[in-house]
Structure formats: structure tokens, C-alpha cells
């Protein structure tokens, strides 16, 4: 039985790149969804461009996913039957994806190393200082109570 699901939670560990049975690349991850009571761990799998996007996330990142879900069951090492949920991601949104080292290198390419070290951020991100602005003209109704 499969059904559609929308789940939001935190990534438990860094996503892993894998190769599917048909030879296509995919990525897998675990998502911890906290609800009332015990948290639920959801196994995620993504293919194609979504696989690369999921690999940009890391442990602790907030993630929302939607896709086809399937209930799973297995017996653990101690002989206890466990139940889980597997989701094939069709859409996802990351609150703050982590830049991979290659993307980080592209972002700072062409900038003097000295400038990056001094500011701790990209020279491109540091615009001119903002002018002083009096906010008194925003409220014409007199002083606030």
C-alpha cells in the first residue's frame, strides 16, 4: 500500500549518495519528525536533480518533503518487530541548505584571499554602508502611547 505524505522535520545524519538497482544515482536520508509522544524516523530516497539537492542538506537541517510513502516492517537484531515509513521524495524544501565545498569554492572564486579572511564573508556581499535614517517621519500621529 502506498499513499501520499507531507512531512517536516530535521535531518538525522548527512544524506548519502547511492546507486539504485537500475544504475541511476540517488540519495538517501533520515528525517526525524517530532510529534506528540515519540518521534518518528522517516527513510527518504530522492532521484535525479532532487538527489543532488538533498545532498546539499546536512545533519540538523530543517526539511519538508512530499511524495509517495510506504509502510515498512522488519525484525531488528534482538528479534523485536519494528515498523517504519519510507518516502520517495517528489518535492522538498530546505530551510537553510548547506553549501557543498565545491559550491563554496565557486562562491568565493576570484575574490582576494585577504578580503575573505578579514571580513569572514564574501566581498560581493558587503555593500556600501547604509545611510543614517530618522524614523520620526514614519508616524505622523504624534508620540506612541
Contacts 24+ apart (CB under 8 A), 24-30: 24/48, 25/51, 26/51, 27/51, 27/52, 27/54, 27/55, 29/54, 29/57, 29/63
In angstroms, the CA 70 to CA 43 distance is 10
Q: Spell out the domain ranges in the chain.
A: 2-94
User: Which CATH class name applies to 2-94?
Assistant: mainly beta
Extended beta strands in 12-123, E state = 16-19, 25-33, 40-47, 62-75, 81-94
Q: Each residue's pLDDT tens digit in the chain (145 positions)?
A: 789 999 999 999 999 999 888 888 999 999 999 877 778 889 999 998 899 889 988 899 999 999 999 998 888 899 988 888 999 999 988 876 555 565 555 555 555 554 444 444 444 555 677 677 666 666 556 555 5
Residue with cell 530535521: 10
Q: What are phi and psi of 104, to 5 degrees?
A: -65, -40
pTM of this prediction?
A: 0.62
What stretches of 80-134 show up as alpha helix (H) in DSSP?
101-108, 113-119
Amino acid at each position: 500500500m502506498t499513499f501520499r505524505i507531507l512531512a517536516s522535520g530535521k535531518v538525522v545524519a548527512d544524506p548519502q549518495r547511492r546507486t539504485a538497482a537500475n544504475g541511476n544515482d540517488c540519495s538517501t536520508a533520515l528525517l526525524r519528525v517530532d510529534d506528540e509522544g515519540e518521534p518518528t524516523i522517516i527513510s527518504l530516497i530522492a532521484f535525479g536533480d532532487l538527489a543532488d539537492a538533498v545532498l546539499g542538506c546536512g545533519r540538523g537541517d530543517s526539511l519538508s518533503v512530499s511524495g509517495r510513502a510506504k509502510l515498512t516492517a522488519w525484525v531488528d537484531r534482538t528479534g523485536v518487530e519494528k515498523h517504519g515509513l519510507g518516502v520517495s521524495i517528489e518535492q522538498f524544501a530546505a530551510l537553510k541548505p548547506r553549501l557543498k565545498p565545491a559550491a563554496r569554492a565557486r562562491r568565493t572564486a576570484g575574490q582576494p584571499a585577504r578580503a575573505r579572511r578579514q571580513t569572514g564573508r564574501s566581498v560581493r556581499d558587503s555593500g556600501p554602508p547604509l545611510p543614517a535614517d530618522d524614523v520620526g517621519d514614519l508616524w505622523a500621529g504624534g508620540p506612541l502611547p
